Amino acid sequence: MPYAFLTFVAAVNILAQRLQDPLQIYFNQPNQLLNCLIESVRLYQALTYSYKQPMSFTTTANQNYYSLASVAGSPLPYTVTDVEVINNVLAALLEPPLPASGTWVGTGQFTFNQLQQSLQNRLNRFIGESGRMTSQQYLPGITGGTELVTLPDAVLDVRRAAWVLPGSAPFTEYHLGRMDEWAEQAYAPSAVQNPAQPVSFSVYGTAPLQLRLIPPTVASGQVDCIFVVAGPTVNLSVASPVVLGIPDDVSAALKWGVLADVLGTDGPSRDYPRAAYAEQRYQEYVQLARMYPSMLTATINGVTCGTGSVFDMDFYQPDWQQATGVPTFVGMCGRHLACVGQTPDDGTAGGNPGGNYTVGLNVVANMPVSGSIQISRDGLDPVLDYAQHIASFQMGGVEFDGTERLYQNMIAAGKAQNGRLEAVSFYKSRLEQPARKSEVEVVRMYQ
């Protein structure tokens, strides 16, 4: 049963009283205090993973990869838009919201182009630094003798590659190990002179947007890749907002990143102390995004199955993409991209000819941001504290600095909730690891 003791509407009134602005005269932007509450409950979720939900999807014959954000009825959808983020930025800067006309109506301290460019830069930076938003894509048309494969322009990072033999679906795929050019010359010095079926790949000793096949392919084929890809192009159009494609509960990273940029610029908007604070908050969200789990447990047709990462499947079941049948494992690469192995057939192997397989997951879901607040009563005060703290950002100076303890209250509440959840779950870290394991097994970035 969901919590029902306090609605967001009632909580907004409490927050307005705390800010000594019950009529919302000073905090007068549309839904300004509601948006502060939404940011606060989302941060609580990103700190504690308290809100969980079941979900399911049906496999498609010969398809390994599934975006959990795109599944119908998913509790993990991407919903935050460019307009939502920038309106929260503008409220914090005491500027009017984006107008429906598209014509900038703010003061001369900031410009529309400045905000748009900053949001675009921070979106791509956040995706690149966190590395949790991944997608799967085939690179077709690779001919025999090819060593260097051209990557799409939007690729930020290559997380996995597999060589796909020519032929119609189901494809026969062979995982490619990650290698660099020193290892190639040391352990396979004749590879470049002897094209064969590729066994490894490198993205180190190549030009930008290139992937080296080791050895070069002797026959035509394609490469199945998991990429970290740049975000969509933002336009800040109220009429057609752009969904940003990052997890909702850490989307405030972009707000703080944009604030750091515009307040850290020399000119009328300069406010270096608040810019430094905003940059710190952005970096904290990057760390949260790197740790944020998703899948906890899984079943296939109601039967408990193995869970882990796509790299677990490559190392412990290396033929998982070379035959079709009943899938027995669900692996994650990033927070929202799941794969099932072995490659599912149309249900025939599982005794359901003409049908498919139902994958059930228990996931750390998006925190609900409408209706009643889904946080227990003991967590409510810290959530209101943090909402008050970020609402006070627009005051600046000692008035804002004086609310630092409210932020610390939220952090302490997150630690307390995590301690409680750890006490009731002996294997909490094991449950949360599938979406994180790929970062450990195939290291993406050293800190």
Average pLDDT of the chain, as a whole number: 94
- Cα pseudo-dihedral 259, 262, 264, 266, rounded to 10: -160
The residue with greater pLDDT, 351 or 272, is 272
* Secondary structure of residue 67 in the 3-state scheme: strand
Pairwise CA distance, residues 227 & 159, whole Å: 6
Segment 350-388, tens digit of pLDDT: 777 778 999 999 999 999 999 999 999 999 999 999 999
Q: Residue 182 corresponds to which tokens in the numbers above?
A: 């020193």
Q: Is 406 exposed, middle or buried (0-12, 13-18, 19+ CB in 10 A)?
A: buried
What is the pLDDT at residue 350? 76
Pairwise CA distance, residues 385 & 404, whole Å: 10
What is the pLDDT at residue 447? 65
What is the pLDDT at residue 138? 95
User: 258-265, long-range: CB within 8 Å, 24+ apart, which pairs?
Assistant: 258/85, 258/86, 258/89, 258/115, 258/118, 258/119, 258/122, 259/89, 259/92, 259/93, 259/393, 261/114, 261/118, 261/121, 261/122, 262/89, 262/93, 262/110, 262/114, 262/115, 262/118, 265/114
Question: Which residue type does 369 have?
Answer: V
Contact 148, 206 (CB under 8 A): yes
* DSSP H/E element including 167: none
Least confident residue range of 49-53, 341-345, 400-404: 341-345
pLDDT at 169 over 70: no
* DSSP H/E element including 337: strand 337-341
Pairwise CA distance, residues 110 & 321, whole Å: 52
Pairwise CA distance, residues 404 & 292, whole Å: 25
Mean pLDDT of 412-439: 91
Pairwise CA distance, residues 132 & 257, whole Å: 18
* Secondary structure of residue 323 in the 3-state scheme: coil
Q: Residue 392 corresponds to which tokens in the numbers above?
A: 């006070």
Mean pLDDT of 23-32: 93
Segment 58-80, tens digit of pLDDT: 999 999 999 999 999 999 999 99
What is the pLDDT at residue 230? 97
pLDDT at 339 over 70: yes
What is the pLDDT at residue 332? 95
Find the radius of gyration of the CA atoms of the chain. 24
What is the pLDDT at residue 106? 87
In b/e form, how buried is each residue of 348-383, taking b as 16+ CB within 10 angstroms?
Answer: ebbeeeeebbebbbebbbbbbbeebbbbeeebbebb
Segment 179-210, tens digit of pLDDT: 999 999 999 999 999 999 999 999 999 999 99
Predicted TM-score of the model (pTM):
0.94
149, HSE (Cβ side, Cα atoms, 13 Å): 32
